[in-house]
Amino acid sequence: MALVEIPIGPQHPALHEPVMLKVRADGEDVIGVEVNTGYNHRGVEKLLEKNSWVRGMYIAGRVCGICNAVHTQTYVQGVENLMGVEPPPRANYIRTIVMELERIHSHMLISAVMAEVIGFTTLFMLIMRDREKAMYLKELVTGNRVHADIHVFGGVKRDLDEVRRSRVLDELRRVEERLKYYRRVFETDYTIVRRLSEVGRIKKSDALKLSVVGPTLRGSGVRSDVRFEDPYAAYPEIPFSVIYRDEGDSWARMMVRLDEALESVNMIRYALERLPQGPAVPKAIPRTARPGEVFSRVEAPRGELFYHIVSAGGTNPYRVKIRTPSFLNVLNTESTYLGHRLADVPVILASYDPCISCMERVLVVDERSGRRVYMSLKELAQVGFG
Amino acid sequence: MRLSLLGEVLKNITRRASTIKYPVARELTVAPGSRGRHYADLTKCTGCSLCAIDCPANAIAMEKLPQPLKHNPRGVFPVVDYGKCVFCYQCVFVCPVKAYVTTEVFEMADYSTDVSRDSSLSTLQSGESP
Amino acid sequence: MSLTLCGRAFKEVAPRRYVATVEASELRRAIEAVVEEEAYISSISAIDMPKEGKIELNYVFWSVKHRAAIVVKVAVDRSDPVVPSISDIIPGAVKGEMEAHDLMGVVFEGNRSLRRGFLASEDVVVRGVYPLKKDSGV
C-alpha cells in the first residue's frame, strides 16, 4: 500500500480563515491528520482594539458571515454590561428572532453541504432552494439577507412592525414544512444513514476532554446549550428543549442540527406571538464603558461563542479575545479521523460544520511515484464512494 | 424508504424553475425595507460629521459644499463611497436630524467609482434654494 | 456566593462566572481540580499589560455540572512569559496554547506543538513580532 499525504486546503476548507488538513493515508485508511492554519489571520482582535466600541459592533459582526448576528450579540451584550445599559424586552425578543432565523439558515446550509459532500447533489439543490426562504425572512426583519446588523447598544436599530410580523409568521409555516421533510430524509434515507453513521464518532467521555462545543457536543450526549444553561437575550422567557443524542457520530450531529432548526421555528413563533409592547429602538447610544472585564457567551449555530472583553475605560476596548466555535470543533478533533477511510474525511469535517464556503481543492500526492493529482474535495468523496 | 427523494424530484419536474434569470429577465426583488443605496438629504443635514466618525468602513468623507450651495453653517456634507460601504446603516441610525434618504437600490456594480455626491447635491437643487 | 474547588475559593464576579487568581506554580493543580467538575476548556485568553509588566492568562472553562464559567487567572512576567502547559490534563487546550504562543509570545512548557506561524502571517513571524502585544507596532 502506498503511503499518501493529502493536503486538503489551504484554500479555506473550514473556518473563518483558510485552513489546511494534512491527511496521511495508508492506502485508503487515514493514519494521521494535522490541521494547519494561519493562511489568512485577519487580526480582528487587534482591529477591535484600534476602533471605538461603536465601530466594533460591525467589526465583530464581520468575523463570520453565516453567524454574524450571534457575533454581534456576544459583543454587544458584553459591552452593554460594561456600559451599564439594558436593552428593553421588545429589543431582546427581536434580537432572539434574528438569531434563531440565523440558526435555521445555518443548519440548512450545513445539511445541504453535507448532502453535496456525500454526492447527493439533488438534495443539496433542494435544501439550498428552500434555505432562501429563511434568508428572505431574515431580510424582511433586518434589511439584509446575510448581515443582520440590527443590534445597537441598548436595543435594536429597527423595530418589527405589524405587517412584517404577520408576514414572517406566515412564511415560517412553509419553512417548517420543508424542514420537517428534510429531517425525514436525513433520518430514513438509506444512503445518508449508511454514509454518516458510525463515522467520526466522539464518545461522551472524550467530548469534554476534546472540548468540542455546540451540536458536536450535544451529538455526543452531553446536554449543554448556552441558551439553556446561561440564558441571554429573551431566552429565559422562551420555552424550548435542548436537543441531544447519544450516538456521537456524524449522523447524530446532523440530526441534532435538523431537530434544533425545527425547535428554532417554534421559538420564533412563540417570540413573534408574544412580542412585548414598548420601545425597541434607543434614542441615543452610549459611547464610553467603565473599566472592567466581561466573559460573554452565546450559543452560535456551531456552538458556544466566547468573547472576553477587557475595558480600561474610555471609548475603545483594551482587549477583545474572540474564540469561535469552529476553532475548537475543527482543531481539536484531529484524532477522530483516525482509522476511517479517506472518503470519510470530508464527511467528518463537514459534520463539524466548518465555514465551508471555499472548500475546493485537494492535492493527492502518491509518495512512491511522486505523481500529483488535483481533485476537488467532492470528487475525492465520490472516488471513495465507487 | 430507499428512494425517499424520488417523489420530490418528480414533483419538481413539472414545477416552474426556481432559478432567476438575472439580469436577462429582471425579476429579482428584495424584501421591502432592504438596506440599499442611501444618501444625505442636504436640506436636513447639519454637517455634524457623526456619521463619518462612526462609519466602521471609513466609507464616509466629509466634503466641502460648493460655494453657491453653502447650506449649513459648517459648509460640509457627507459623501458615501459605495465601493467601501458595508451597508450597516449606522450612519442612518446615528444621524441626529434623520437626514439620510434610504432606498432599496442594490444594483451598484459599476466600472467607475460610485459615490453619493450627486444624489446628495440634487436634493439641494430640487428643493428650495439656499 | 463562591465556589470552593481543591481548597481554593472562586469568587462569583457576575452571574454564573467564577474567577480565581493563582500562582503559576499552582496552575496545574487548580486546572486539574476544575477539569474534575465536568468542564471543557472554552478559551485561553492572554492579555498584555505593559504597565504592570505582566501578561495575564485567563483559562476559561465551562462546567456542565455547575452550569457556570470557571476562570483561572495567572499572571506571568512580561519579559519571560513561561507557564507550565496544561495540554496533558485537557487535550482541548493544545490549540489555545498554540494561539497564545503565536500571538502573544507566551511559552507553555511541555506543549510540543508550539510554533510561530500557527495563525500569524509570514511577515509578522519573520520580524519576530508578537502582534497582540501592545507595543508590537502592528
**Position A345, amino acid:** V
Question: Per-residue pLDDT averaged across B69-97, rounded?
Answer: 88
Question: Per-residue pLDDT averaged across B8-20, rounded?
Answer: 85
In a domain, C38, yes or no: yes
CB pairs A-B closer than 8 Å: 66
Beta partners for B62?
A: B78
Q: What is the pLDDT of residue A9?
A: 64
Q: What is the pLDDT of residue A70?
A: 92
Contact C18, C12 (CB under 8 A): yes
> b/e for A3-21, b at 16 or more Cβ within 10 A?
ebebbbbbebbbbbbbbbb
Interhelix angle A89-117/A162-188, rounded to 10 degrees, is 30
Which 8-state DSSP code applies to residue C68? E
Q: Which CATH superfamily is domain A44-323 in?
A: Cytochrome-c3 Hydrogenase, chain B (1.10.645.10)
Contact C44, C102 (CB under 8 A): no
Cα C2 to Cα C7, C12, C38, C69: the distances in Å are 12, 6, 18, 12
Question: Per-residue pLDDT averaged across A197-203, rounded?
Answer: 90
Q: Whole-angstrom Cα distance, residue B71 to residue B49?
A: 15
Q: Is the pLDDT of residue B127 over 80?
A: no
Which residue ranges form the domains of chain B, and what is each CATH number? Answer: 31-126 (3.30.70.3270)
Q: Whole-angstrom Cα distance, residue C112 to residue C114?
A: 6
Q: Is the pLDDT of residue A11 over 60?
A: no
Nearest CA in chain A to C48: A319
Cα B76 to Cα A110, A142, B64: the distances in Å are 48, 31, 4
Strand pairing class (C54-63; A372-376): unpaired
Nearest CA in chain B to A184: B4
Interhelix angle A121-142/B6-13, rounded to 10 degrees, is 70
Q: What is the pLDDT of residue A311?
A: 94
Angle at B79 between CA B76 and CA B85, to 5 degrees: 145
The number of domains in chain C is 1
Question: Per-residue pLDDT averaged across A219-234, rounded?
Answer: 91
Q: What is the pLDDT of residue A19?
A: 63
- Contact across the interface for B86 and A58, Cβ inside 8 Å: yes
Regarding chains B and C, contact by 3 or more CB pairs under 8 A is answered as no
Sign for the pseudo-dihedral over CA of B29, B32, B38, B42: positive
In a domain, C118, yes or no: yes
Q: What is the pLDDT of residue A360?
A: 25
- CATH number of domain containing C23: 3.30.460.80
Nearest CA in chain C to A323: C43
For residues A373 and A19, the model is more confident at: A19
ipTM of model: 0.92
Q: Whole-angstrom Cα distance, residue C100 to residue C58?
A: 11
C23-78: per-residue pLDDT in tens?
999 999 999 999 888 899 999 999 999 999 999 999 999 998 889 999 999 999 99
Would you tell me which residues 86-115 of chain A have a C-beta closer than 8 angstroms to some C-beta of chain B? none
In a domain, C75, yes or no: yes
In a domain, C137, yes or no: no
Q: How many other CB atoms sit within 10 Å of the CB of residue A379?
A: 14
A291-308: per-residue pLDDT in tens?
999 999 999 998 888 999
Joined together, the cell numbers standing for residue A159 give 423595530
Nearest CA in chain C to A304: C42
- Helices marked H in A143-189 — which ranges? 162-188
Sign for the pseudo-dihedral over CA of A291, A297, A301, A302: positive
C118-127: per-residue pLDDT in tens?
777 777 788 8
Is residue B8 less than 8 Å (CB to CB) from chain A? yes
Q: Is the pLDDT of residue C107 over 90?
A: yes
**Which of A97-111, A251-265, B10-24 has the least mean pLDDT?**
B10-24
Q: What share of chain C is helix, strand, coil (3-state, %, to 5)?
A: 20, 40, 40
Q: Is the pLDDT of residue A262 over 80?
A: yes
> b/e for B65-102, b at 16 or more Cβ within 10 A?
beeeeebbeeebbbbbbbeebbbbbbbbbbbeeebbbe
Angle at A231 between CA C100 and CA C45, to 5 degrees: 10
Smallest Cβ distance to B56: which of A55, A136, A158? A55
Q: Is the pLDDT of residue B119 over 90?
A: no
Q: Whole-angstrom Cα distance, residue A165 to residue A141?
A: 8
Report residue B20's pLDDT band, with 50, 70 and 90 as the boundaries. Answer: confident
Q: Whole-angstrom Cα distance, residue A132 to residue C67?
A: 36
Q: Is the pLDDT of residue A35 over 90?
A: no
Report the length, in residues, of chain C. Answer: 138
Chain mean pLDDT for chain A: 84
Chain A residues touching residue C90 (CB < 8 angstroms): 209, 211
Q: What is the pLDDT of residue A7?
A: 73
Q: What is the pLDDT of residue B115?
A: 87
Smallest Cβ distance to C92: which of A17, A308, A332? A332
Q: Is the pLDDT of residue A386 over 80?
A: no
Question: Per-residue pLDDT averaged across C99-110, rounded?
Answer: 89
B23-39: per-residue pLDDT in tens?
888 777 888 889 999 99
Chain C residues touching residue A294 (CB < 8 angstroms): 14
For residues C127 and B101, the model is more confident at: B101
For residues A140 and C122, the model is more confident at: A140
For residues A263 and B12, the model is more confident at: A263
Question: Per-residue pLDDT averaged across B42-47, rounded?
Answer: 89
Domain of C67 in residue numbering reads as: 2-126
Chain mean pLDDT for chain C: 88
In a domain, C134, yes or no: no
Instruction: Pick the most confident of A14-28, A255-269, C1-15.
Output: A255-269
- Contact across the interface for A57 and B93, Cβ inside 8 Å: no
Nearest CA in chain A to B19: A129
Q: Whole-angstrom Cα distance, residue A58 to residue A79?
A: 13
Contact A257, A111 (CB under 8 A): yes
In a domain, C15, yes or no: yes
Is residue B33 less than 8 Å (CB to CB) from chain A? yes
Cα A366 to Cα A11, A29, A271, A372, A377: the distances in Å are 21, 14, 56, 7, 17
Q: Whole-angstrom Cα distance, residue A304 to residue C21?
A: 24
- Contact across the interface for A189 and B5, Cβ inside 8 Å: yes
Q: What is the pLDDT of residue C74?
A: 94
> How many Å lie between the alpha carbon of A21 and the closest alpha carbon of chain C?
13
- Contact across the interface for C67 and A223, Cβ inside 8 Å: no
Give the best residue of A63, A203, A209, A211 to mutate against chain C (max C CB count within 10 A): A211
Q: What percent of chain A has pLDDT over 70?
A: 86
In a domain, C35, yes or no: yes
Q: Which helix (H) or strand (E) holds B21?
A: none
Is residue C86 less than 8 Å (CB to CB) from chain A? no
A53-71: per-residue pLDDT in tens?
999 999 888 887 888 899 9
Question: Per-residue pLDDT averaged across A33-51, rounded?
Answer: 76
